Chains A and B, each alone.
Chain A
């Protein structure tokens, strides 16, 4: 069985994001594998162990994204590919999905593609469903558990607004995962050695055999969020009851209830 995981390299979530002159920068904060994608890699590796599959990890990004790909290799993925092309600068989620779909098809017959639920820079959460749609495969988003996987079907649990749902899908399928899928494993030392030695090929759009996919979304402006002018009022008193009374009055005065 062949499993593919799609990952993205993003700035560290603890990075201080600064907007200057309409540009975003994160100083010298490190770039890391999108945290949700670590869960996707883990989900893929659990299935790799269970059904003896190969796991290919791919990423669309700049040369520096090889760092994230190496981390995935160190965790246990079998091979890694970087997809990079200057024409992809400013690609929207639709163009990205079309690019990933082409790469997935080029990698050969795969049964399952894993994504993390969203990238923490764009916070879009649509790439999994869109890539599935381009491929014409079912999309199973926000999967919390894989109950079973065999040659032609997968059974998963999803968290919906109303609770939990168990569903069965034909393969091949695209799955996006959240935290409940299980804590990502650390890279093993053997994996670290393999990853450090690995040479990761880069595919351009030409290698994928597609024209530059069209982007329909533009980002004309980027801003800092409005600074909330908050004066914090500390409530004090001689007893919990006195404090609680004052606080209750203040809350009611704000007319938020």
Chain B
């Protein structure tokens, strides 16, 4: 075993996903805990050399990149083969990846190939008897477990926003080293046929601020839908106006828009925005819940937000038990007023 920590940087079209730098931060923490270990990153795909170069500024000691025609688009088997080969050659103490879609499956596959184990979606790391002791949530966060891997390398994926991104040191630089692709095109079992980008805006998982709406967002009595809509269409129109209002608030705060399951099931907003047990689990710095009652399933998705604000006309809504600040009132007057108040104070 070498004295190295390997971090996989998940990137898309030349930009690392923010969670990747957080994983690097966790990697640096581990090198300190292991006393003098060095930090190596691996980036793969198109423009991976650029991203590998950036890694030095975030604290990497070595940066490897794999850029090859077969790696132009992400394909799990092709990327896993590169990661596993690098891990075998490097023999690190641990391999860290962000818990992104790609990160999770690459970690999973590497654990099998390397005959080790995966500590998945961890929120804290410490060292005990020379082994990483990781904390992770189970039962949708209703309990925590400490987990340990007794084989090497220890494969760890870090939960988004659970670890600090390292501060960028623009003075730090280095030369990335290229590593080859492993699988020939003929041996890769999948082909990408097309991509379609999601509706822009801040991704829910990365957002520092989330403004979320529930079914109550569709009930603005002062709105008149355009003529010619049936009842269901009018309801959806009202809901979209409501979510636009929340979007204005999110915009002022540089945040993303979330939704409760009820709002998604009613067709008010796409599933990508759903926060909760069957949607996304988020932990922003600020979570503003508007017209959300706060059912257990929703709480499971946002409970670990740093500061929770709840606006609801029902004083008995369970969400108030979680909230740092609460307002009982009509969200249709309060949200625009709050948007204005914050706009003024933030000088926007």
A binds B: yes
Are B285 and A256 touching (Cβ within 8 A)?
A: yes
Q: Is the interface of A mostly helix, strand, loop or mixed?
A: mixed
Known A162-B195, A167-B190; judge A224-B324 contact (CB<8 A).
no
Cα–Cα, bound, A129→B297 (Å): 26
Cα–Cα, bound, A121→B278 (Å): 13
B277 neighbours in A (Cβ, 8 Å): 13, 120
Are B144 and A223 touching (Cβ within 8 A)?
A: yes
Docked complex: B311-348 residues within 8 A CB-CB of A:
320-330, 333-334, 337-338, 340-342, 344-346
Q: Mark A10-32, 1 if CB is under 8 A from B, else 0.
A: 01011001010000100000000
B104 neighbours in A (Cβ, 8 Å): 125-126, 129, 141
Are B109 and A130 touching (Cβ within 8 A)?
A: yes
Are A161 and B328 touching (Cβ within 8 A)?
A: no
A168 interface residue per 8 A CB criterion: yes
A50 interface residue per 8 A CB criterion: no
B307 interface residue per 8 A CB criterion: yes
A202 interface residue per 8 A CB criterion: no
B341 neighbours in A (Cβ, 8 Å): 241, 244-245, 247-248
Q: Is the interface of B mostly helix, strand, loop or mixed?
A: mixed
| Distance of B38 from chain A, by nearest CB (Å) | 24
Interface size class, chain A: 35 or more
Are A133 and B112 touching (Cβ within 8 A)?
A: yes
A211 interface residue per 8 A CB criterion: no
A106 neighbours in B (Cβ, 8 Å): none
Cα–Cα, bound, A137→B190 (Å): 11
| Distance of A95 from chain B, by nearest CB (Å) | 9
Are B112 and A257 touching (Cβ within 8 A)?
A: no
Are A235 and B139 touching (Cβ within 8 A)?
A: no
Are B322 and A94 touching (Cβ within 8 A)?
A: no
B149 interface residue per 8 A CB criterion: yes
B101 neighbours in A (Cβ, 8 Å): 141-142, 158-161
Are A94 and B120 touching (Cβ within 8 A)?
A: no
Q: Mark B57-99, 1 if CB is under 8 A from A, else 0.
A: 0000000000000000001110010000000000000000000
Are B296 and A14 touching (Cβ within 8 A)?
A: yes
B209 interface residue per 8 A CB criterion: yes
Cα–Cα, bound, A250→B330 (Å): 19
Known A166-B194, A224-B144; judge A254-B189 contact (CB<8 A).
no
Cα–Cα, bound, A160→B272 (Å): 10
A221 neighbours in B (Cβ, 8 Å): 145-146
B323 neighbours in A (Cβ, 8 Å): 230, 232
B234 interface residue per 8 A CB criterion: no
Are A254 and B307 touching (Cβ within 8 A)?
A: yes
Known A126-B104, A166-B194, A257-B209; judge A251-B337 contact (CB<8 A).
no
Q: Mark A90-126, 1 if CB is under 8 A from B, else 0.
A: 0011100100000000000000000000001111111
Pick the contact of B198 from A125, A162, A241, A245 — CB < 8 Å?
A: A162
B142 interface residue per 8 A CB criterion: yes
| Distance of B78 from chain A, by nearest CB (Å) | 10
Docked complex: A136-171 residues within 8 A CB-CB of B:
137-142, 155, 158-170
Are A92 and B117 touching (Cβ within 8 A)?
A: yes
Q: Mark A225-240, 1 if CB is under 8 A from B, else 0.
A: 1001010111110001
Cα–Cα, bound, A123→B136 (Å): 9
B137 interface residue per 8 A CB criterion: yes
Docked complex: B246-265 residues within 8 A CB-CB of A:
253
Residue of B nearest to A243 (CB): B327
Are B139 and A140 touching (Cβ within 8 A)?
A: no
A219 interface residue per 8 A CB criterion: yes
Known A122-B138, A247-B327; judge A167-B192 contact (CB<8 A).
yes
A35 interface residue per 8 A CB criterion: yes
Give chain B's interface residues, CB within 8 Å of chain A.
12, 17, 75-77, 80, 100-102, 104-105, 107-109, 111-113, 115-121, 133, 136-151, 189-198, 203, 205, 208-209, 253, 271-272, 277-278, 285-286, 296-297, 306-307, 309, 320-330, 333-334, 337-338, 340-342, 344-346
Q: Give the 7 A-B residue pairs with the shortest CB-CB distance, closest first.
A: A216-B117, A244-B337, A126-B108, A129-B108, A248-B341, A163-B198, A256-B285
Q: 14 A-B residue contacts at CB 8 Å?
A: A120-B140, A126-B120, A160-B102, A166-B192, A166-B194, A217-B117, A217-B150, A219-B147, A221-B146, A225-B144, A233-B326, A240-B329, A251-B342, A257-B209
Give chain A's interface residues, CB within 8 Å of chain B.
11, 13-14, 17, 19, 24, 35, 92-94, 97, 120-126, 129-130, 132-134, 137-142, 155, 158-170, 173, 179-180, 215-225, 228, 230, 232-236, 240-241, 243-245, 247-252, 254, 256-257
For the complex with contacts A24-B138, A161-B101, A247-B327, 10 further pairs of A-B residues with Cβ separation under 8 Å are A13-B140, A138-B77, A166-B193, A221-B145, A222-B145, A228-B322, A244-B340, A248-B338, A248-B342, A256-B306
